[in-house]
């Protein structure tokens, strides 16, 4: 009863947006704060 899920390593969303010239405007409109994941109300 051991089951393995292979993970594939691909481009991140940041890389994709950067390649399309969309990253800067996205980050300007939506400042990124890693804490939002753990403290949503913060």
Partner 1 sequence: ASTEYLQNYLDNEYYGSISIGTPGQQFTVLFDTGSSNLWVPSVYCSSPACSNHDRFNPSESSTFTGTNDSLEITYGTGSMTGVLGYDTVTVAGLQVVNQIFGLAETEPGDFFYYCPFDGILGLAYPSISSSGATPVFDNMMSQNLVSQDLFSVYLSGDEQSGSFVLFGGIDSSYTTNGITWIPLSAETYWEITMDRYVSVGGQAVACTSGCQAIVDTGTSLLAVPNSALSNILSYLGANSNGEISCQAINSLPDVVFYLNGNAFPVPPSAYVIQSNGYCTLGFEAIDVPTEAGELWILGDVFIREYYVIFDRGNNRVGLSPLA
As measured in angstroms, the least distance from the Cβ of 9 to partner 1 is 5
As measured in angstroms, the least distance from the Cβ of 27 to partner 1 is 9
Q: Which residues bind partner 1 (CB under 8 A)?
A: 1-14, 16-17, 20, 22, 26, 29-30, 32-40, 42
Q: For the CA atoms of the chain, what is the radius of gyration? A: 16
As measured in angstroms, the least distance from the Cβ of 25 to partner 1 is 10
């Amino acid at each position: 009863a051991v089951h393995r899920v292979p993970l594939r390593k691909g481009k991140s969303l940041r890389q994709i947006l950067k390649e399309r010239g969309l990253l800067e405007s996205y980050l300007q409109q939506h400042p990124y704060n890693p804490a939002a994941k753990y403290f949503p109300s913060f």
